[in-house]
Structures are given as C-alpha cells and as structure tokens.
Amino acid sequence: MNQSTPSPSSHRPMPVQVLPDGAARKRLRRWRGFKDSAAKYSVGAFGMGVILALALIFIYLFSEVLPMLRPAAMTVYTSYEAPGGRSADTVHMAMDRHELVGVRYTTDRQAVFFDVGDGSERYRETLPLPADATVTTFGLAEPRTRLVIFGLDNGQALLVRHDFNERFSPDGRQYDPTLEFPLGEGDATLMNVAEDGASIAAIAVQRGSTGTSVAAALEDGRMRLLRFEERSNFMTGAVTVRQQAYDIPALPDNAQPRRILLDITMRNLLVGDDQGRLHYYDVSRPAQAQWVESKRVTLRRDAQVQSMEYLLGTVSVIVGGSDGTVSQWMLVRDEDNVNRLVSVRHFDSHSGPVMGIAPEYLRKGFATFDDRGEIKLHYSTTARTLVSLDTGERPLSRVHLAPRASALFAIDDNEQVHLVSVRNPHPEVSVRALWSKIWYEGRSQPEYIWQSSSATDEFEPKFSLVPLTLGTLKAAFYAMLFATPLAILGAVYSAYFMSPRLRQVVKPSIEIMEAVPTVILGFLAGLWFAPFVESHLPAVFSILFLMPLALIVAGFVWMRLLPEALSNRIPAGWEAALLVPVVILVGWFAVGMSPHLENWFFAGDMRQWLTDVGYTYDQRNSLVVGVAMGFAVIPTIYSISEDAVFNVPKHLTQGALALGATPWQTVTRVVLLTASPGIFSAVMIGFGRAVGETMIVLMATGNSPVMNFNIFEGMRTLSANIAVEMPEAAVGGTHYRILFLAALVLFVITFLLNTVGEVVRQRLRRRYGSL
C-alpha cells in the first residue's frame, strides 16, 4: 500500500509555552495591578477635574452676581454747622458730582459755596432779591438743570442756576463757582407772578429747549402759569425773552394748594392740596388750561399732601403725606386717549409727616425724610425701601442727594449739616424686578420687559429675565420639534433597516454635519432662508402636509402596486434611496405652486393675511430658528441614538423575529425599549445644545425679547443677549452683573436638564436592562 509523503509542515515541532516562574508571575501581577490602579485613579482624577471645573465656573459666576445681593447702607460721615452760619434758614443745598464743593441757599438772600468735607466757606454771593421781600417758598427744576426758583411774599419770583465750573490744573481739580440768572440781569432778573402782589404759596419751574415755564399757587388759592419763550437772532446772536401769563382754574371743593409740579414737557401740571388729593391739569394749551381729575393719595382722610417731587425724567411723581405715606403716581392714557392719574406702587411709611423728597439725578431712586429725623432710601422700579437711617432726635428740614447718589446732605432744624455716606450700587435688582411683572414708566400696565438701555439719560432700565428665559426655551422647543423626530427615526432606520453599505455612507455624512460652524448656519438662515420662507410661506406649509402624504403614497405603491419582479431587483435596505426623487419632486412642486396658492387663498399676500387675522409675522422668526438650529442639533441626536439602536444585542432581535414578530413589531417593542436610555440621553444632550446655542439665534432672529410662543415672531435668548450686550456693559455696573446672572441662570438650566436626563436614563436602564 502506497503511503503518502508527509509535508514538511507535519514534522515542525509544536511551540512550547514557557510558563513564568513564581517571581515572574508576581512581577506581572504587580505590573497589572499598577496599570489597573493608574487607570482607576486617572479616570477618577479627570472626573474630579470635570466636577471641579464646573464648580469653579459656578463660583466665578456667583462671585460676579454676589455684589448685587448686598444690602444698601447709610452712615453719618461727619456733621458741622451750616456754612454761612445759623442766622438764616436753609432753603436748598446741593453738591457737585465729585462731592467736593456744595452750595447753600438761605432765607437771608445768600448763596454760599463751601467745601463738602468740612463746611469751610469758599465763596459767597448775595441774591438780587428786594430788601423788603421774604422768601415764602421755593421750587426745583429737573435736578440735572441745577435750576432753583424762589417765591416771594410780594408776588415776585427769582430764577437762579448755580454752576461749579470745574476745571483741571497742575494743582488738581479746581472750581470757580458762580450764579447765573437765565431770564436776564438787572430788572429782568425778577419775574412778576402775581400782578397784585399776592404772596406765593407754592411754585414750580421747568426749562426746556424752547424756553422756561413757571407755575405758581398764590396764597388766596389762585394759580398762574408763566411761559418764557427765548428767541435767538441768527445774525447778532442776541437772545430775546417773551413772557406770557395765564390763569389756571382753581382747585375744586375750596382746596388749598400745598405743592405744585410741572413736567419737563411743560404740558402737565400736578397740584397736591390740603385735603390729601392730587390734581391733574392739562396745560398743553395754556390759554385753555383745564382741570382733568383728582385722586386721593393719603390713607387718612384728614391728611394733606406734605411733599411732592418728580423722579428723573418727570414721568412719575412721588407723593408724601402728613400721615407718613409714600406713594408713586403717574399719568396713563385710557381708552379715550386721555391721561389719567394712576397709583403705581406704595413704599414703607414714615412714623411722622413726610417733610421732603430728594430724587436721584441719574436713577429712579429717591430719599424721604420726616419730622423725627428719619431718612429712608427707596427705589421706584423695584418698589423697595432699601435702608433707613435715624439721624437723631431733631427733625430734619432739608435732604439732598449727591449727583451720583453716593452721599447726601441732611440739615436739621438747628442748621446742623449731616454728611451721610450712601452705599447703594445696585438698587435696580430684586427678585420681583427680575422675575415678576413690573409697571414701568410710560406703560399702561405691568409687564415683563427686557430693555437695558436707551437714547435718553432719564431712561428706566428694565431687567426682567423672564422674556430671555422664555426665548431660550422657545428657541430650543422649536429646534427640538424639528430635529427630534427626524434624528430618532433616521437613526432607527439606518441602524436596523438600512443596508450596511449604505449605512457606511449615510452615518458619517450626517455626523460630519456637526463640524459645520453654527455661524455659517446662522448666516445662511438669516440672509437666505428667512427671506425665502417669507416669500414662499404657502410652500412651507404645503411641504409640511404634502411630504408625509407623498412618502406614504410612495410606500403604498412600493408594497402593493409595484410588480414583484421589479421590487425584487432593489437590494434590501436600499429602499430609502428611492425616496430621494420623491422628496425633491414634492419640494419643487410646493415651491412652484406657492404663488398660485397665495393668490387663491390669501389675497396674494399670506404674510399680510396672517397679520390681518392677528398673527404678527417677522422675517427672522422662530420657524427659521427652529429649522436652522434643528440642523445643528440633528447630528448629535442622530449619532447617539443610532449607536444605541445599533448596539441592541442581536439575540433580542433574532429571538423576537423567531417567535413570529414582524420587523416593525421588533423595533417598537424590543429595540426601542432596549435602546431608550441611549435615545433619551441623545435627546437631552441635543436639548442642552439647543438651550446654549448662541450664533444661530443671534443671526437668525430679530433678537426681540417678546413674551409669546408665536412661531412667526422671533425671540431673544439668554446666550444671545449676553453676546450682544456684554461688550457694551460697564464693568462692575448693574447691567454687567445682571448679564452674569443670566449666564448663571443658563448654567443652572443646563445643569438641571442634564441631571434630570441622567436620572431618567438610569431608571430606563434599570427597567429595560434585563431584556
């Protein structure tokens, strides 16, 4: 019998595995233990590093917000005898913006300029008042004008303006204080308010671009309005002043005026009387000046209006009563377009009559004081009484806030000046101002508004974070509404139904979309997609209806009407490629039919039709943002969801199919449940990405902080607001710190979303992990 010749490989010796000896095995175990420990502690260290980084971010944001939470404070810095002596009473005091030089007006016709720190006199000037006349009242114009008017018992009045004339020299800041008389020098200095010489009981003044207006209440109850129109000769530059006087109707019910105010437009006159009421006169046409209405402003019916002053901008007025009440009022137009007095808010009351009110120069804050020496600092927008100070047992006669509201003068009835240091850097901030409706000046009702700046200095900042937070959630909602169904359904199809070869093309193509800069998406959305949507609105809604219908019809044709021989020629898992022409055809058809649909159903302009039925349409709106930001979020949700579905154990799907389940039943009842933790994580990560998105919402919306979920209007998000306004915010200011608060709110929202998402994911994992 022939034997086959063995191959050379059959004689090769088998490799002998040499086992390590005891020492070598011990070294190997130590090396493996070292690597395990190094990996364990490295992963732990980096994990702690992530937690530490998040903690540091939180600490830094909170450190910038913390100064806003510190309470206001007032302390008496020093006290000294009134400059110029105690022989005369103080009518008014003021200081310059650097709190170095002050001025004191007295009843003996003196204007004394002095050093604020110690009260030493610098310069004195006698006011040109008649020797036989007595000062009976005085009034202040808008504080920034530095205008003061004195009413006399002979029916005359003097208008004077003090100026500190600050200048710089090698020796430092220097002052050359002077007095100016806006109505002229000599005989023109004094104005005749009452021709018959009746004593003036209350007086008010305001100066505008065209001239000056003076309103006065006489001792006998009559009221007069004087207008001084200034005209400048174009050739010579000479200024001529023309005076016109008008009688104002007397107060009803024989009420006697106590305080009188004129707003900066010189159209509205407010009068407080001895019966505790506030009266409104329309003096826009002085010759036809008329009483409009009155409102009670005190709680006790036997109380009277003790003091009254406009806040910055002369839009709202603060009224102090003899019963200690402090309230804010303003004019609001009613349905008939007529101004009406409306009570806006009340502040903490004093234990005695409110003797005076000192408004701030640059903000909507003010100080009040009573006859028992107590000073209270308030802020109107937040409706808060910030701090109070008891200066002693002696009653106060005058209080004046410094231009920067960091100090104030308090003068008692013994002509002792108390210089009070004020620390109140952020009065605009409170929980109520940030998260509740506020009745702002010029508005007809309380609202949520974000408006941090304006073109005028008397602007009232509006720092409500509610519109920004709502805008953030609105943008994320519409983005997720667009992205979530497409991303999850696409992930299920590509992971479970699509052929491996096609999947190798589709999955990387979608994932590479995540590398597209969002500024590019925002640029395209704002400059191309938004105008396209505006001009093809019927096409947009047609696609929403026709595209699903066309895909269902295409599926029906594939399953029921297409010959089996033809359908079998298409490899399994490539069916989606056949839908590409359907999608293109439906999109082309919808765009082509858009003008015709607009003419047939919307009178040729769907945007105007939406406006007519009550929907405001902005070109850059939530629809545009939802689509653009959806494209930015889809790759994230798709990639994580696809991996979760693809990694479902094969024995689960094969077992379901073996038991008779259809592929669709297997997907809905096995695959999705098993992959639900990963899919939910994908959705939460995508939502967090949408909440923090900046560039798309910055470029594709109108950045209007509106309070609605209208898909045709834009929004302003927290992140976009920070990006827009942070470069303009003064470092350390209230606006600057509120932007950091907005960043902290955004940080907390994303942290909570991720935390909730992780908790839900763990529960889903425990529930379906045993499948």
Is-contact 426 737, C-beta < 8 A?
yes
**What's the pLDDT at 578?**
84
DSSP state of 229: E
148 domain-assigned: no
Considering only residues 20 and 669, tell me which one the structure prediction assigns the higher pLDDT.
669
Dihedral of alpha carbons 190, 193, 194, 198, sign: negative
User: For residue 72, what is the enclosing H or E element?
Assistant: none
The 10s digit of each residue's pLDDT in 31-52 is: 888 888 899 899 999 989 999 9
CA distances from 106 to 93, 125, 136, 634 (A): 9, 11, 12, 75
Instruction: Read off the tokens for 129.
Output: 């008042």
Rg (CA), the chain: 39
Cβ atoms within 10 Å, residue 593:
16
Is-contact 628 525, C-beta < 8 A?
yes
Residue spans of alpha helices (H) in 386-430:
none
How far is residue 713's CA from residue 707's CA, in Å, rounded to a whole number? 10
**What's the pLDDT at 198?**
92
Full-model pTM: 0.87
Name which of 12-21, 415-424, 435-444, 595-604 the model is least confident about: 12-21
Q: Burial level of 342, CB count in 10 A (0-12/13-18/19+)? A: middle
* Position 184 confidence tier, pLDDT thresholds 50, 70, 90: confident
**What's the pLDDT at 5?**
47
Beta bridge partners of 317: 310, 329
DSSP state of 253: G
Is-contact 97 80, C-beta < 8 A?
no
44 domain-assigned: no
User: What value does the mean pLDDT take over residues 2-28?
Assistant: 60
**What's the pLDDT at 564?**
77
Three-state secondary structure string covering 85-105: CCCCCEEEEEECCCCCEEEEE
Tokens 């594939």: give the residue: 558
How far is residue 370's CA from residue 463's CA, in Å, rounded to a whole number? 32
Task: Inform me whether the pLDDT recorded for 708 exceeds 70.
Answer: yes
- Residue 188, SS3? helix
- The amino acid occupying position 187 is D
Considering only residues 218 and 182, tell me which one the structure prediction assigns the higher pLDDT.
218
* Position 186 confidence tier, pLDDT thresholds 50, 70, 90: low
**Burial state string for 86-123 with b = 16 or more CB within 10 A and e = fewer than 16:** eebbbbbbbbbeebebbbbbbbebbbbbbebeebeeee
Kindly report the average pLDDT of the chain as a whole number: 89
How far is residue 282's CA from residue 82's CA, in Å, rounded to a whole number? 40
Is-contact 750 692, C-beta < 8 A?
yes
Task: Inform me whether the pLDDT recorded for 185 exceeds 60.
Answer: yes
Beta bridge partners of 410: 399, 418
How far is residue 264's CA from residue 508's CA, in Å, rounded to a whole number? 66
How far is residue 585's CA from residue 165's CA, in Å, rounded to a whole number? 77
554 domain-assigned: yes
62 domain-assigned: no
How far is residue 47's CA from residue 49's CA, in Å, rounded to a whole number? 5
**What's the pLDDT at 110?**
92
The 10s digit of each residue's pLDDT in 470-492 is: 999 999 999 999 999 999 999 99
The 10s digit of each residue's pLDDT in 657-671 is: 888 888 888 988 888
Is-contact 264 254, C-beta < 8 A?
no
**What's the pLDDT at 669?**
87
**What's the pLDDT at 223?**
94
Task: Inform me whether the pLDDT recorded for 422 exceeds 60.
Answer: yes
Domains: count for the chain = 1
CA distances from 191 to 180, 242, 249 (A): 15, 12, 21
- CATH number assigned to the domain comprising residue 744: 1.10.3720.10
The 10s digit of each residue's pLDDT in 302-336 is: 999 999 999 998 999 999 999 999 999 999 998 88
Task: Inform me whether the pLDDT recorded for 21 exceeds 80.
Answer: no
How far is residue 751's CA from residue 55's CA, in Å, rounded to a whole number? 11
Considering only residues 189 and 357, tell me which one the structure prediction assigns the higher pLDDT.
357
**What's the pLDDT at 30?**
86
Tell me the percentage of the chain whose pLDDT exceeds 70: 96
User: What value does the mean pLDDT take over residues 699-710?
Assistant: 88
531 domain-assigned: yes
How far is residue 260's CA from residue 302's CA, in Å, rounded to a whole number? 20
- The amino acid occupying position 617 is Y
- Long-range CB pairs of 599-608 (<8 Å, 24+ gap) are 601/538, 602/538, 606/537, 606/538, 607/534, 607/537
282 domain-assigned: no
User: For residue 426, what is the enclosing H or E element?
Assistant: none
How far is residue 547's CA from residue 556's CA, in Å, rounded to a whole number? 14
Three-state secondary structure string covering 432-451: HHHHCCECCCCCCCCECCEE
Provide CB contacts within 8 A for 179, sequence distance 6+. Answer: 111, 125, 127, 160, 161, 162, 163
Is-contact 582 553, C-beta < 8 A?
no
Instruction: Read off the tokens for 125.
Output: 């000037």
How far is residue 690's CA from residue 634's CA, in Å, rounded to a whole number? 10
112 domain-assigned: no
Task: Inform me whether the pLDDT recorded for 19 exceeds 80.
Answer: no
- Residue 12, SS3? coil
* Position 3 confidence tier, pLDDT thresholds 50, 70, 90: very low
Beta bridge partners of 307: 320
**What's the pLDDT at 603?**
86
User: What value does the mean pLDDT take over residues 412-438?
Assistant: 93
Cβ atoms within 10 Å, residue 353:
20
Spatial strand order of the sheet with 277-282 comes to 257-262, 268-273, 277-282, 290-296
How far is residue 172's CA from residue 98's CA, in Å, rounded to a whole number? 13
Instruction: Read off the tokens for 635.
Output: 């790759």
Instruction: Read off the tokens for 767.
Output: 């529930």
517 domain-assigned: yes
Beta bridge partners of 178: 163
The 10s digit of each residue's pLDDT in 210-260 is: 789 999 999 988 999 999 887 777 677 666 778 899 999 999 988 999 999
Is-contact 304 322, C-beta < 8 A?
yes
How far is residue 623's CA from residue 714's CA, in Å, rounded to a whole number? 9
CA distances from 406 to 98, 387, 454, 731, 752 (A): 10, 13, 23, 18, 40
Dihedral through CA 489, CA 490, CA 492, CA 498, nearest 10?
140
Q: What angle do CA 38, 40, 45 make, to 5 degrees?
A: 90
The 10s digit of each residue's pLDDT in 509-529 is: 998 988 889 899 999 999 999
**What's the pLDDT at 2?**
45
Provide CB contacts within 8 A for 411, sequence distance 6+. Answer: 82, 90, 93, 396, 397, 398, 399, 417, 418
User: What value does the mean pLDDT take over residues 455-469?
Assistant: 90
Segments forming the whole domain that contains residue 726: 466-770
